[in-house]
Structure 1
Amino acid sequence: MFDTAIRRRDLFRGGLAVTAASYSRVLGANDRLGLGVIGCGGRGRGDMRIFMKQTGVQVVAVCDVYGEMVDGAQQMAPGARAFTDHRKLLELKEVDIVLIATPDHWHAQTAIDALNAGKDVYVEKPLTLRIEEGPEIVKAARVNERICQVGMQQRSGRHYIQAKQEYIDTGRLGKVTLARTWWHGNQAHLRRAPERLRQKPSNLDWARFLGPVKWRDWDPQQYWNWRAYLDFGGGQITDLFTHWIDVVHMFLGQDIPVSAVAAGGVYVYKDGRTAPDTINVLLEYPNDLTATFEATLAPGLRGAAVEFVGTQGRLWIDRSRFEFQSAEKGAQPVVVKAPSPDMTVEHIANFLECVRSRKLPNADVLIGHRSAQASHLGNIAYLQKRRVRFDPVREEILPL
C-alpha cells in the first residue's frame, strides 16, 4: 500500500527536507555536474546532447548493453568512461547526476539504484513498467533526499503553462467534464530490426538487456522494437498516453482515477507483437471528469493532441500550439503557437536548476508515478478485459 511506504502528506510537502543544507554535495551556480548516461540509444543520446549544451555539465560516464550505442555516446563525449553494467557507473564518485533512457523494464531498478547511490536522477517516461514499482521509486527519492525528474516535458512547455493559466486557472473554459486525447501513427512502434542484427552482435549483452524479464533466445525485433512487447514496455498506452494524461493532470489538478476500461488489440501488424496496435482507454476521475485515449498504428490516421471540453468552450493543445474556441455563437478561435519546438530543453534546464536549488522539479517523481499509474490502469483493464475500479485514497486496485 502506498500510504504505508511513505505518508502522503510528506510526499506532497514542498521541500520534503530536500534542502541545500542537507545536500551532501552542496553545489554553487558555477560548479560542474558530472553526468552519467544509462541507456545510449537514440533518445538517450538526444537527451545527452541537450545536457551537454547546459552550462556546468560534463558527461563523465556512459552505459549500455550494446557496444555500438556506447561507441556513439563516446564519440559525443570522448572522455567518458564506458560501462555495460549501470551499477559500476553508479560507483563513480564523479557522477553527480544520472540520465536514465533505458527500455521501460529497466527504469525502476536503475532509478532506485541511482537514488540509493546518492545521485539526482532524470528518468525518461514512463517512470515504471508495472504499477507497483512507482511507490518504491518515490520512496527512494524521498528517503535519500534526491531530485528526480521524469521526462514528461510538457510540464516545462511555455505554451502549456500559458494555456493552463489563461483558460483553466481563470475558469474561462467553465466546468471541464471531458478530456479527449489521441496519438495516431507513432512510428517508434513500427521499427524493423536492421539486417546487421539478424545474428546477435558479439558486443551486445542480451542477458543483461533482458534483466528482470524471463529468458528467451535472441530476437532482433524484441531488442530493436521493444515498445511493441509488453514484457519490455506498456505499448502505446504507457509510451504515449502517459504524456497526454499528465497534461490532463497538470491542467485539471486531478491525478488519481477511480476506474478504467479499455478495448483494442493487434488488428493490423500481426508480427509477433504483444502490445495492441489499436487501443481505446477511458478513465473516470472523482470530480465529474472522464479522460479518453485513442491510438492506432494503422497508416490511415496520423496526429496527436489533447482537447479539454468545458461548459464555456473547448481548449485544444499539442506540442506546436494551442487553440481556444469559445462556446459563444460566432466567436473566433484564439490560436497561440509554441515559442520553442523542443520542450525537452526547458525540462532539462528545470532539472538542473532544481539539482542546485533542491526544489522539487516540474515533473517530480510523484507526478511521474501518478501519470504512469493512470496509464497502467488502462493497460490492466485491457489485459483483464474488465472495468478496473481504483481506490484513490489507498491507491489500490479494488477486488472484483
Structure 2
Amino acid sequence: WDRFLLNRPKVEWNPRYYLEYRLFYPYSSGIPGQWMSHQIDTVHWFSGYDHPRSVVANGGIYVWKDGRMNADTFTAVFDYGPDNDPTKGFQVLYSSRMHNEAGGVKEYYFSNGGMINLDTNKISPEGGLKAEYAKAMNMQPNLLAETSLRSDIKMETGANTGGDPMTSLHMRNWLECVRSRKQPNASVKAGYNHSVANIMATKALHTGKRVTFDAQKQEIITS
C-alpha cells in the first residue's frame, strides 16, 4: 500500500483507491489522463507545438454519485500557438462525458480549407472557404481536395486499443528501437509534452482558473 501511495498523502487502506484509482484524485486525474492524453498527443504531433499556451476547463460529478472524486463530465479549451505572437494559433476543444456514449469517439481537425476526419479517415473541403464568399472579401477560395487516407487500416481514435493494426505497429516500432537504439516514433519527449497538457487541464479544472506553463522553470501557472 505504501508503494502504491508513493509521495501521495498517507491514508488508510482503501480497496477502491487501489482497484478503481482512475476515479480518485490524486491517484489519477481521471478523464484528462485516461482519455484526453491520446487526442492531445495527436494535436502535438500534427502541429509541432510542445504544449498549449493556455488552458481553461470545467466539469463535475453530475451523474455518477458513487463516491468518486474525479469528474464524470469534462470540457477543456486549449490555446496553441507561438508564445511571441498571440495573433497566430488555434484552439482545441476537448469534451468527454461518462453518462452517454452516443456518437462514440470522434476526432476532427478544422482549417480554413476544410477538415480532417479521423473517424472516416478522410480529408474533405467541408466548411472551407468557397468561391462565393472568397470573392466578397477579395480573396481566393481555399478548398482541400477530397482525399481518403489508407482505407485498409482503421484509425483508432479511442483509448481502448489492443489488437488493432495501429497499436501493433506502434509497439513494433518501440521494440525495434529497443534493439536498434534509434529514437521511436513516439519519443519520451512526446510523453512529457502531453503530460504537461494533461496537468494544465487538471489544474484548470480544479482551480477554475486560466492556466499557462513556464517551460524554462517547468512550472504550471494559474491566473
TM range (shorter): 0.7 to 0.9
CA distance in 2, matches of 1:391, 1:357: 34
Other-structure match for 1:370: 193
Give the corresponding residue for 2:35: 240
Contact 2:153/2:166 (8 A) holds in 1: no
Instruction: Describe how 1:199-278 pairs up with structure 2 within 5 A.
Output: 206-278=1-73
Return closer, same or farther for 1:357/1:239 CA change in 2, 3 Å cut-off.
Answer: same
CA deviation map 1:239-288 (0-9, x unaligned) = 11110011111111112211110000011011111110000001111241
Task: Give the CA deviation at 1:299.
Answer: 2.7
One-letter code of the match for 2:205?
Y
1:165-204 aligned within 5 A: none
Match of 1:291 in 2: 92
Structure 2 CA distance for aligned equivalents of residues 208 and 366 of structure 1: 26
Structure 2 counterpart of 1:284, one-letter code: D
Deviations 1:59-117 (A, max 9, x none): xxxxxxxxxxxxxxxxxxxxxxxxxxxxxxxxxxxxxxxxxxxxxxxxxxxxxxxxxxx
Aligned to 1:312: 113
Give me the whole-angstrom Cα distance separating, in 1, the residues matched to 2:212 and 2:101.
Answer: 34
Distance in 2, matches of 1:331 and 1:257, equals: 26
For residues 272 and 316 of structure 1, do their structure 2 counterparts lie closer, same or farther at Cα, with a shift above 3 Å needed? same
Matches within 5 A, 1:117-196: none
Q: TM-score when scaled to structure 1?
A: 0.45
Question: Displacement, 1:355?
Answer: 1.5
Q: Percent identity, aligned pairs only?
A: 32
**1:224 deviation in Å?**
1.9
C-alpha deviation, 1:211, in angstroms: 3.1
Q: Indicate the SS of the match to 1:352.
A: helix
Alpha-carbon distance in 1 for matches of 2:112, 2:188: 33
Cα-to-partner distance string for 1:186-230 (whole Å, 9 max, x where unaligned): xxxxxxxxxxxxxxxxxxxx3433333333333332222111111
CA contact (8 A) 1:257 1:392 kept: no
Q: How does 1:88-107 map to 2 (within 5 A)?
A: none
Code of the residue aligned with 1:323 in structure 2: it is: K
**One of 343, 363, 371 as aligned partner of 2:166:** 343
For residues 367 and 277 of structure 1, do their structure 2 counterparts lie closer, same or farther at Cα, with a shift above 3 Å needed?
same
Could you say which residue in structure 2 is the equivalent of 1:380? 203
Match of 1:294, SS state, is: strand
The residue type paired with residue 388 of structure 1 is V
Deviation (angstroms), 1:334? 4.3
Instruction: Give the drift of 1:331.
Output: 9.1
Deviation at 1:392, TM superposition (A): 4.9
Q: Which residue of 1 aligns with 2:121?
A: 322
Partners of 2:124 and 2:146 within 8 A in 1: yes
Report the AA paired with residue 123 of structure 2: F
Segments of 5+ residues of structure 1 without an aligned counterpart are: 1-205
Contact 1:280 1:293 in 2 (8 A): yes
Give the Cα–Cα distance (whole angstroms) in 2 for the partners of residues 349 and 300 of structure 1: 31
- Tell me the alpha carbon deviations over residues 28-59 of structure 1, each in whole angstroms, 9 at most, x when there is no partner: xxxxxxxxxxxxxxxxxxxxxxxxxxxxxxxx
1:211 and 1:243 map into 2 onto residues whose CA distance is 25
Q: Is the 8 A contact 2:123 2:144 kept in 1?
A: no
Aligned to 2:159: none
Query: What TM-score comes out, normalization by structure 2 length?
Result: 0.77
Which structure 2 segments of 5+ residues have no match?
A: 82-87, 131-142, 155-163
Q: Which runs of 4+ in 1 moved over 6 A?
A: 328-332
RMSD of equivalent CA atoms: 2.4
Q: Tell me if the contact between 1:265 and 1:279 (Cα under 8 Å) persists in the aligned partners.
A: yes
Name the residue aligned to 1:75.
none
For residue 302 of structure 1, report the CA deviation from its aligned partner: 4.8
The letter of the residue matching 1:250 is W
State the one-letter code of the partner of 1:339: I
